Amino acid sequence: MTESQLIGASKEDIDTPALLLDLDILDGNIARMAALAADTGIALRPHVKTHKSPLIAHRQLAAGAAGVCCAKVSEAEVMVAGGILDVLVTTPVVAPEKIRRLISLARQATVGVVADDLRNVRNLSEAARAEKTTLDLLVEIDVGQHRCGVAPGPAAADLADEIARLPGLRLRGFQGYHGALQQVVDLDRRSADIRQALDLLLESANVARRRGHAIEVLTGGGTGSSATDIGFHGLTELQPGSYVFMDCNYSRIHWGPDGALVLFGNAISIWTSVVSCTSADRIVVDAGWKSASCDSGVPILKAIDGATFSFAGDEHGKLSVPEGTRIAAGDKVELVPSHCDTTVNLYDRYVCVRNGKVEALWPVAARGKTQ
């Protein structure tokens, strides 16, 4: 079966391993996040590092997103080439070659970038000025993750001062992101942690505003903090990524006070075949570390209650199923990835399904674009 012949085929006919994308669930997730933000005055700027697809970004924009976030310049290049004309690069861009490419993008689209270093800000200014363009700059603030970002408060405002006075740059605001908070399971605990991180960002904005800066944008947050962030009304812009697809890890966290409510559905899965089944405890499938990321644990088996998956090498996984489960070589099963972003990055395309039929094949256009 050629690629185009696959359109309209049933799910059973899809060769494995494959990355399935359920379009109904995808559309539901996009609509649900859009509804959360609607009428709150808080803009949605979804992070495309999860899906790496301009096609999905266009759906997010159609549902009301203000633009997108990209992790790297090469990812932003794929988005702009795919018609996404408002991108924020959420990691500092330091290398001269990358700065040059960022400036070229800024002539084709609205491009923002974060920075946490004075020398870097000066280089960005010089490059933008030389190309007679203007780059939107946001100061990245360390709100507790201790990764990138300047210290909150006066240090953040100091860098804002420099950005404001340098040619070629437009100071837009501050970014504060705290990845580890996103998956704190308990909602009360997570909300308290999010509040603490947000306060560091708001405090920094206040210092900068007292110095006369506009600080129009306070951007940050992710899927796990989204509902809480919207409730706090502190950020002007939300950066959730994983909500479009969800994964086992995000499914574990509590989304409501009852600990049960999950806002988003699992839209992607790994379609895998049993290739060997020599005994009830030796059920081997064709998906291993090259087909499912393991940075955040193991995928979960769909549809077979009590069954579990374990990695068995680069190219193999093993299933453990309850006694009496009928399963044989050739059977296909679905796994929900433990981490959607890193699993998607292993595949060249989504096999898009709706009601069990293949509707489209979408490239993971920015796959491997880590530069």
Q: Check residue 16 for interaction with a copy of itself (CB under 8 A).
A: yes
Question: Does 53 participate in binding a copy of itself (rule CB under 8 A)?
Answer: no
Check residue 342 for interaction with a copy of itself (CB under 8 A).
yes
Distance CA 140, CA 159 (A): 10
| 1 near a copy of itself, rule: CB under 8 A | yes
- Of the candidate residues 347, 351, 358, 362, the single one contacting a copy of itself (CB under 8 A): 347
Under rule CB under 8 A, residue 15 binds a copy of itself: yes
337 binds a copy of itself (CB under 8 A): no
Report the residue number, 91 or 269, with the smaller CB distance to a copy of itself: 91
Least Å distance between CB 40 and a copy of itself?
A: 28
290 to 319, contacts with a copy of itself by CB under 8 A?
Answer: 290-291, 293-295, 311-316, 318
49 binds a copy of itself (CB under 8 A): yes
- Choosing from 5, 62, 83, 94, the residue that interacts with a copy of itself (CB under 8 A) is 94
- Of 53, 91, 204, 269, the one binding a copy of itself (CB under 8 A) is 91
We find the least distance from the C-beta atom of residue 83 to a copy of itself, in angstroms, to be 23
- With CB under 8 A as the rule, give the number of residues binding a copy of itself: 66
Residue pair 203/8 in contact by the 8 Å Cβ criterion: no
* Cβ atoms of residues 304 and 326 within 8 Å: no
Q: Would you count residue 122 as binding a copy of itself (CB under 8 A)?
A: no
* Among residues 286, 300, 351, 362, the one that binds a copy of itself under rule CB under 8 A: 286
Note whether 207 binds a copy of itself by CB under 8 A: no
Out of 18, 48, 135, 238, the residue judged to bind a copy of itself by CB under 8 A: 18
Give the nearest distance from C-beta 141 to a copy of itself in angstroms.
10
Residue 8 is a binding residue for a copy of itself (CB under 8 A): no
227-266 binders of a copy of itself (CB under 8 A):
none
Is 275 a residue that touches a copy of itself (CB under 8 A)?
yes
371 lies in the binding site for a copy of itself (CB under 8 A):
yes
Minimum CB separation from a copy of itself for residue 318, in Å? 7
What gap in Å lies between CA 103 and CA 97, rounded to an integer? Answer: 10
Give the whole-angstrom CA distance, residue 214 versus residue 237.
15
* 3-state SS string for the chain: CCCHHHCCCEHHHCCCCEEEEEHHHHHHHHHHHHHHHCCCCCEECCECCCCCCHHHHHHHHHCCCCCEEECCHHHHHHHHHCCCCEEEECCCCCCHHHHHHHHHHHCCCEEEEEECCHHHHHHHHHHHHHCCCCEEEEEEECCCCCCCCECCCHHHHHHHHHHHHCCCEEEEEEEECCHHHHHCCCHHHHHHHHHHHHHHHHHHHHHHHHCCCCCCEEEECCCCCHHHHHHHCCCCEECCCHHHCCCHHHHHCCCCCCCCCCCCCCCEEEEEEEEEECCCCCEEECCCCCCCCCCCCCCEECCCCCCEEEECCCCCEEEECCCCCCCCCCCEEEEECCCHHHHHCCCCEEEEEECCEEEEEEECCCCCCCC
Q: Which residues bind a copy of itself (CB under 8 A)?
A: 1, 13, 15-18, 49, 71-72, 91-95, 97-98, 116-117, 119-120, 140, 142, 146-151, 179, 273-278, 281-282, 284, 286-287, 289-291, 293-295, 311-316, 318, 329-330, 339, 341-342, 345-348, 367-368, 370-371
